[in-house]
Structure 1
Amino acid sequence: MPRQTVNPFTNEVLKTFDDATKTDIDNAIFDADKLYQEMKHQPVQERSEMLHKIAQKMRDNAQELAEIATKEMGKLINESKGEVELCAMIADYFADQGEKLCNPHR
């Protein structure tokens, strides 16, 4: 059964998604595991830099991301902007604390 994203304020259907097939799911799991196997061997510093870049991308696209969240969740735009910034702050936090979190006995 297809799923729909609906704006709760207007009841407008924003997008319809078909169910994933078994092949879709298997491919997603395979791709995720492949990336995990690669990433777990990257130095913490490289992973931290990647998280900082992700945080910056969120900030660079904050207006667009906030508009999507507002449409999909019916939130006020300022609340959505705050959530985007919170997500960026969380990414920065884990980037900054990554080495300590990966080596808690240091």
Structure 2
Amino acid sequence: MATREIHLELLLGKQVLDSTGKPAGRIEEVHAEQQGEEWVIQEYLIGTTAVLERLSAWAIGLRILHFLGAHKIHSGYTISWEQLDLTDPEKPRLLCTLDDLKALETSKK
């Protein structure tokens, strides 16, 4: 398997389209794991909830939203590295539909 390097900072904020060409959201956060001396992408996060995680404002952001009356917050998805086609990094595309993605969701406890 050939490895490929893409500058991560160029992916952040890029609009992702699903396999049917519909907008799915923007890449807001990336989770990676160190393997030896390299970092390997595990998943990408898209959507509003992902922005809170990117800004490290997850806990306080959710508390504010709950205080304002939001009982269930759902506005984002987790994309595993296998589900994203980066052949053209300017136009990332899902290899699936939104229904196939894991939703980023949290509920008021």
Q: Same fold (TM over 0.5)?
A: no
Indicate the TM-score class for this superposition, using the shorter chain for normalisation.
Answer: under 0.3
Q: Normalising to structure 2: TM-score of the pair?
A: 0.26
User: Which has the larger share of strand?
Assistant: 2
Give the helix-richer structure, 1 or 2.
1
Report the TM-score when normalising by structure 1: 0.27
